[in-house]
C-alpha cells in the first residue's frame, strides 16, 4: 500500500477525507493525482495535501493502480465512460463511492474486465469516524479487496457484505443513519429547551449524551439492549420515558423509516443503471 498510486476522480469532501487519512497513515502525497473541475478546490487540495491535481479525469486515471470514483451518482455514468479507454489496457482496481450505483453498472460503463469494488461510506468519514461497507464486484480478487479495505479504512471502520442487494440496506442504515441521530439529538435539545433549559445548555447536554452513549456501545462487550436495561431502573425516570417511546411505536417507526430509505436506494440504483 505504501507505494500504491491512486487516482481520485472528484475532489469533494469524501475524497479529501480519504486523501488526508491515507497521508496521515504514511502514504506519500506523490502517490495521488486528483481530478477536480473546480479551480478553487484544485488549488486547496494542492496546497493542503501537496498532491498532484488536474481538471482532466483521464489524466488522473492514467497510470493509477487504484482509481477512486468520488463523484455524484448522476454524473458517474458519463465519467466512467470518459475514462474507460484510459483503463482498458491496465485494468486497475476501481473503487466507487458513488451512492446508489451498482458495481455491475460501473463495470459495464468502464469495460467488463475492470475489477470494481463498491463502497458505501457515511458522513462521519469526514472526521475519521466513518462506517463503510464494501462489496466486491465483478472481476475482483483477494488483492483487490485488501487494497480497497486499506483505502477506506483511512476514514473509519470497514465491513464487507456478501451480496450487492445488501448495499441498499447499508445505504438505509449507516449511509443515511447519521441524519437519524441528528434528528433525535435535535429533538432532545428542543425538549430540554421546552422544559426551561437554556438552548445552548440543552444542545450541549444532548450532544454529549449522544457521544457518550455511542462510545459506551462501541467499547462495551455487552449488547446495546443490555446497556439499555442497565440504565432503566424499575419505576425510575428512564423507564417512564422509554414507556412513552414504546407506546408511540418508536421501534416500528424506525423500522419503517429505514425500509423507506432502502426502497429509495433500490429505485435510484435502477434509475442510474438505465444510463
Other Cβ atoms less than 10 A from the Cβ of 247: the count is 8
Mind listing the pLDDT tens digit of every residue in the chain (275 residues)? 667 899 999 999 999 999 999 999 899 999 999 999 999 999 999 999 999 999 999 999 998 999 999 999 999 999 999 999 999 888 899 999 988 899 999 999 998 789 999 999 999 998 999 999 999 998 899 999 999 999 999 999 999 999 999 999 999 999 999 999 999 999 999 999 999 999 999 999 999 999 999 999 999 999 999 999 999 999 999 999 999 999 999 999 999 999 999 999 999 888 887 77
Residue 3 confidence (pLDDT): 72
Q: What is the Cβ-side half-sphere exposure of residue 47, based on CA atoms within 13 angstroms?
A: 6
* Predicted local confidence at residue 2, as pLDDT: 67
> In terms of residues, how long is the chain?
275
Instruction: Kindly give the pairing relationship between strand 130-136 and strand 93-96.
Output: unpaired
Hey, what's the cell of 249?
Answer: 411505536
All structural domains of the chain = 6-164 (3.40.50.720), 177-265 (1.10.3730.10)
Torsion of CA 248, 252, 258, 261, to 10 degrees: -80
Whether the model pTM is above 0.85: yes
Sheet strands side by side (includes 156-160): 52-54, 32-35, 6-9, 66-69, 93-96, 116-120, 130-136, 156-160
Distances (CA, A) of 31 to 8, 26, 43, 184, 260: 11, 11, 17, 41, 40
Amino acid at each position: 500500500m505504501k507505494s500504491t498510486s491512486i487516482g481520485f476522480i472528484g475532489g469533494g469532501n469524501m475524497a479529501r477525507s480519504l486523501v488526508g487519512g491515507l497521508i496521515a497513515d504514511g502514504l506519500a502525497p506523490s502517490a495521488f493525482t486528483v481530478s477536480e473541475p473546480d479551480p478553487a478546490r484544485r488549488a486547496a487540495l494542492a496546497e493542503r495535501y501537496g498532491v498532484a491535481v488536474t481538471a482532466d479525469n483521464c489524466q488522473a486515471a492514467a497510470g493509477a493502480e487504484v482509481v477512486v470514483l468520488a463523484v455524484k451518482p448522476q454524473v458517474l455514468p458519463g465519467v466512467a465512460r470518459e475514462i474507460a479507454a484510459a483503463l482498458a489496457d491496465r485494468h486497475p482496481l476501481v473503487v466507487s463511492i458513488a451512492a446508489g450505483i451498482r458495481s455491475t453498472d460501473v463495470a459495464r460503463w468502464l469495460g467488463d474486465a475492470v475489477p470494481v469494488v463498491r463502497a458505501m461510506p457515511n458522513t462521519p468519514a469526514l472526521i475519521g469516524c466513518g462506517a463503510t461497507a464494501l462489496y466486491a464486484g465483478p472481476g475482483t480478487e483477494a488483492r483487490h479487496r485488501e487494497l480497497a479495505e486499506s483505502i477506506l479504512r483511512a476514514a473509519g471502520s470497514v465491513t464487507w457484505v456478501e451480496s450487492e442487494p445488501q448495499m441498499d440496506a447499508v445505504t438505509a442504515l449507516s449511509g443515511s443513519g447519521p441524519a437519524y441521530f441528528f434528528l433525535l439529538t435535535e429533538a432532545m435539545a428542543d425538549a430540554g429547551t421546552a422544559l426551561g433549559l437554556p438552548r445552548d445548555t440543552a444542545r450541549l447536554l444532548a450532544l454529549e449524551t449522544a457521544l457518550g452513549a455511542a462510545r459506551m456501545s462501541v467499547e462495551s462487550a455487552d449488547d446495546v439492549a443490555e446497556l439499555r436495561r442497565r440504565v432503566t431502573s424499575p419505576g425510575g425516570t428512564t423507564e417512564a420515558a422509554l414507556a412513552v417511546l414504546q407506546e408511540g411505536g418508536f421501534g416500528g417507526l424506525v423500522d419503517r423509516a429505514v425500509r423507506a430509505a432502502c426502497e429509495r436506494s433500490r429505485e435510484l440504483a435502477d434509475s442510474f443503471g438505465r444510463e
